[in-house]
Amino acid sequence: MSRPIPISVLAAGIQESATIRLNQHAARLRAEGKPVIHLGIGEPTNRAPQTAIQGAEKLLAGGSLKYTATAGIPSLRQAIADYMLASYGREIPPGNVIASNGSKHSLLTVLLAILNSGEQVVIPAPYWVTYPEQVKLLGGRPVVVLPEPGSLLPTAEALLAAVGPQTRAILINSPNNPSGLALPESDLAKVVEFCEARGLYLILDDIYRELVFDGLRSPSPYAFTRHSLDESHLIVVNGVSKLYGMTGLRLGWTVGPRALVEAMDKLQSQMTSNPSVLSQAAAEGALRGDQTVVRELRATIEANRNSMLEALSQIGGLRIERPQGGLYCFPDFSSHGSSSKELAERLLERALVVTVPGVEFGMDGYLRLSFAGDREGILEGVSRIRWALDPASPNEIRLGDRVAVRDWA
Ligand code: PLP
């Protein structure tokens, strides 16, 4: 009899990322030749900006691929500071910037630097799947704040009411993954002011900041702080994954008080050292290059959002909040089944379309549908969902080279 391989309590208590698991499942089905449509993935299809490619090529041609400062090369930190000035209107010294291996890593390092065991982080639902797991990983306690029934955005008052003596931080993602909703500027102001008055950290995961639609502009949290950067408790996390559609580059960053950045630098120096020098060169190339690419990406994703909303409006029984930004739509599918996990499995099995169950984001009955991919896939995916769920839709559909017939009620 083989002996079990011992796994730490910590590792055993953490959930695998649901979205990564689904991506792997979809890849397996595709490898088996199944015509899967992937509405699960948060990854734009664009080509990387030319200036990013040139930045990496130049570094490679020079042949010097060495360690850098843990927090990143000075010119990258300056390029991030320049982006902060352009986008947030706030002068940021490069010493208040630290680059990490993707913003998921930035967030984990932030939490490592601020959270003691048993302390709480207030997280509005629906939330990105990773937040509660990262907090738990560090022995902290996620305190999830649900929106009012029928809404997808907890109010500032509800968030602040969840703060208690053990709360260390509030963690906000706007526009939000999965809802696509943005926190109203007046709510952001209230949360910034409250956090400053209480000495609480406000962590803003701003990864979708530039991906906003209908002419919306993301507000700058620095407009509401009365303190200098080093005295404020504002922490901004971002990266190149969604800004330039360079998800595989694994380059994110944190901007915050100098003492926090220094603590993160120390932690990172013992965990990963600097992010890959090649990724840093490509990220700097993108940040210093023509920003038309950001506008083009936004226009493409906004057109995709419109196509998805139009197609979803054909399906009976859904309640949909119009996403204001980001890469996802989060319709209420509860009239088609109360368990989102069961519904997502049913859609994958019958219609070969990947969606992510709302329960993974703290709200059952919903499904997250990504409009990051191409328009054709979005339309095909939604029409398959309609076929699988809506008896008013035609009985037959083409799935790849076969015709499938709906034989359930
Ligand atoms: N934050 C949110 C809200 C996300 O949706 C994602 C990725 O999907 C990330 C962070 C992670 O981004 P990165 O690729 O920079 O680690």
Find the 104 Cα to ligand 1 centroid distance in Å. 6
Look at residues 134, 79, 73, 126 and name the one whose alpha carbon lies nearest to residue 103: 134
Instruction: Please choose from 17, 41, 242, 247 the residue to mutate so as to test ligand 1's pocket, defined by most ligand atoms within 8 A of CB.
Output: 242
Helix axes 103-114, 130-137, angle to 10 degrees: 40
Q: How confident is the model at residue 1 (pLDDT cuts 50, 70, 90)?
A: low
% of the chain with per-residue pLDDT over 90:
86
Find the 48 Cα to ligand 1 centroid distance in Å. 17
Predicted local confidence at residue 394, as pLDDT? 87
Instruction: Please choose from 20, 98, 103, 181 the residue to mutate so as to test ligand 1's pocket, defined by most ligand atoms within 8 A of CB.
Output: 103
- CB atoms inside a 10 Å sphere around CB 170: 28
Find the 106 Cα to ligand 1 centroid distance in Å. 10
pTM as predicted: 0.95
Find the 97 Cα to ligand 1 centroid distance in Å. 18
Pick the CATH number of 64-288 from 3.40.630.40, 3.40.640.10, 3.30.465.10, 3.40.50.2300: 3.40.640.10
Q: What are phi and psi of 332, to 5 degrees?
A: -85, 110
Count of residues for the chain? 409
Average pLDDT over residues 370-387: 96
Q: Does CATH place domain 9-47+292-405 in 3.90.1150.10?
A: yes
Q: pLDDT at residue 17 above 80?
A: no
Give the span between the Cα atoms of 2 and 112, in whole angstroms.
37
- 158-185 pLDDT, tens digit each: 999 999 999 999 999 999 999 999 999 9
Structure tokens at 41: 């993935």
What residue spans in the chain does CATH classification 3.40.640.10 cover?
A: 64-288
Find the 103 Cα to ligand 1 centroid distance in Å. 6
Taking the CA of residue 42 as reference, the ligand 1 atom at the shortest distance is: 8
DSSP H or E stretch at residue 166: none
Predicted local confidence at residue 212, as pLDDT? 98
**Helix, strand, coil percentages, rounded to 5, for the chain:** 45, 15, 40
What residues are in contact with ligand 1 under a 6 Å CB criterion?
42, 102-104, 128, 173, 177, 205, 207, 239, 241, 247, 252
Find the 194 Cα to ligand 1 centroid distance in Å. 26
Name 316's Cβ contacts closer than 8 Å, sequence gap at least 6: 390, 392
Predicted local confidence at residue 409, as pLDDT? 66
DSSP helix/strand/coil, 380: helix
